[in-house]
Structure 1
Amino acid sequence: MSKTRPHWGGATARDWPKLPQTQKTSSKKHSVIGLRKLCYCCLPNDIMKQLPVLEPGDKPRKETWYTLTLVGDSPCARVGHSCSYLPPVGDAERGKVFIVGGADPNRSFSDVHTIDLGTHQWDLATSEGLLPRYEHTSFTPSCTPHSIWVFGGADQSGNRNCLQVLNPDTRTWTTPEVTGPPPSPRTFHTSSAAIGDQLYVFGGGERGAQPVQDVQLHVFDANTLTWSQPKTQGKPPSPRHGHVMVAAGTKLFIHGGLAGDSFYDDLHCIDISDMKWQKLRPTGAAPTGCAAHSAVAVGKHLYVFGGMTPTGALNTMYQYHIERQHWTLLKFDNSPPAGRLDHSMCIIPWPGTCTSEKEDSNSATVNCDAEKGDSTEKGVTQGGDSHEESQADTLLCFVFGGMNTEGEIYDDCIVTAVD
């Protein structure tokens, strides 16, 4: 197997010589961890066997991690890809998950793979048209609910700040002409920072472990194809990259991230209705300072999974109650998945049954009485909107890929039910 450094940290990840010294926002310093030249390989079978398999038709239990086994043309192991769910269109009964781009130690990818949640099969949607990139943003604006837009990211030659749009029906990419001053080229790895037609960008990676230095909130309107930088109030988060940025209702939340030799554990919020930044001081068991983790919003909660710390990759999941401003470290009944960073995560619906029996009380079900409508009514919406399904569906956090700090790069699909 080839030897390489872990592929994380922006366009010059291969030149990043070590994990940075970490310090929480209290400025307490910890020891430096040197980063060895590490091997690149796929997820070991013994790790995969720790998780039960969720088969089609199974009803998942809460507080349990599962692995999905899918047939077809699956993507190779990778990091820095994006992951999006699109609801069904036409006669399709179930929607699809889209895995876009990413990288391994040898190259950046321009391919798009899909999972059909009705047939439980992988498919190579396209391998052309997308400029190769990793650690980019993906989002689906309200004005084009059946398309996937990507922004930013990097390949081995440098960072990007361009936008491209995937039409899943024709399996083709286009590059729209936009107006207004765009953000500088940067890595910005999320699929949860859109509200309505607008993508919100804050921070991101510039070079190696260094973030871009601007703390401006950048807004892209997909309906008008315009970039803008609205005036905000309050103190924004410090420059960082590898943070999570997730939308819930009219609020945007930022947690963690990295700048030079500092990991952050802080939580910030800005409400787009008044454009005022707040540094939150939640109660409970909060995540440690970390970077390259993932987050999604479901109802009144945020879910944060994985990430990198000075001591290695995390396999923990935290739930944040937005109204109560309270963190909870979730406990699981089975062995946790492999710790990972630079993975991707989204919410998907899993077929369930409408029941109030006690044995089914551990499953999260929604909208049990609605009949099948058009595709915009039955889809799980991304970007901070409510997740709704026309049938009694269990909502799952779906995680694909990523890597650990020992150099293992993953190609697995893991899921767990959420409220």
Structure 2
Amino acid sequence: MTSVGRVLPPRFAHDDPTVVVDPYPHYAQLRAAGQLCRFGPGQWGVTRHADVSALLRDRRLAHGFPEEYRRFAIGDGPATEFFGGISIVRDPPEHTRLRALMSKAFSPALVRRLSDHLTGIVDELLEPALDTGILDAATDLAYPLPVTVVCELLGVPTADRDIVRPRAADLARGWSTEVAEADRPHVHAAVVWLREYLGALLEERRHRPGDDLLSRMLAAGSGEDSLSQQEIVDNAVFLFFAGFETTRNMIGTGCAALLRHPNQLARLRAEPGLAASAVEEFLRYDAPVQGAGRMVLSPIEIGGHTVRAGRVLVLLLGSANHDESVFERADRLDVGRSPNPHVSFGGGTHFCLGAALAREEGRVAFERLLHHFATIEPAGEPVRRLTASGNIRAYDSVPMQVRPR
């Protein structure tokens, strides 16, 4: 990278414990200083909404990373190869082929058909709290809801779901620019287990197709355009992150935000039609994934600085979502915010394939939560799930005291 007058951008200490707990004041300082920040060795962070939004669609950036980079991020093991083959990190033409075939199997029509079923799942998860008056939004709702939905989409038998859930949670630990040493064995083991499990389930579907996602992925395409066995298995495994972790964290951080902003909770209760808008605001206000890494293919100039090919740009989604030039009173939670052009689902050809499902799960979860309980109050201090890189915003516990209607 070259810089005008040799003045380097400020450094973003993303792994500093105080930043991991609350990165937003630090983002504000970085945005005020410029469009770029130093992030790590060979890495530069992009701080402002206009740049992040444009770069999410820029063909000079690649989603795929060299194997040596993945080994640095997660260490040697099965997950190193796995994270290099899934659709989200592939570039055209491979990404185009994979996404087109997966989209046939994972259509918006499927999400629309799921709506009533989602209501039943959420009602069942909330039922114990009707008697106890205590609900942990993280463990009782945000965690089981999306993984149950993904299991149902893939046709995982009900009896197996309790053993699948912890593997899905372990897989999610691998979604970071640098995975903590203590987490790496869990991520590698989860990839092996989920590959074997879904591979066996896929073989069953070859002989006895159903109406599940695995069967539709088998049926999608034909001849040279069809998905291979490994592509189906690995992209099905990836759905345990794409269809689970983002939704889980959005529900957890959304509930925590409402407890901290009782005026917005009261507004949502008075205007239940704002549930869909509230989901968008939760995605903006405390984005489940804070940054998206991209490999620079050819030099890019940003704010008077040139980032050379071979460097990594980290598009700071969390910072872009709090850019004061785009979002009025960006530090305030506003469940009715409109417009709300957040970038939490990415953009361009890699816009999140499961965005429609995540939005619908969130809408139903918050609607049913307010439908069942006349009062929702804190029952203790929420416990953040802190990761070494701070890239994932999540809670291990969001205790609530609830009173049924």
TM over 0.5: no
> More strand per residue: 1 or 2?
1
TM range, smaller chain: under 0.3
Larger Cα-atom Rg: 2
Greater helix share, 1 or 2?
2
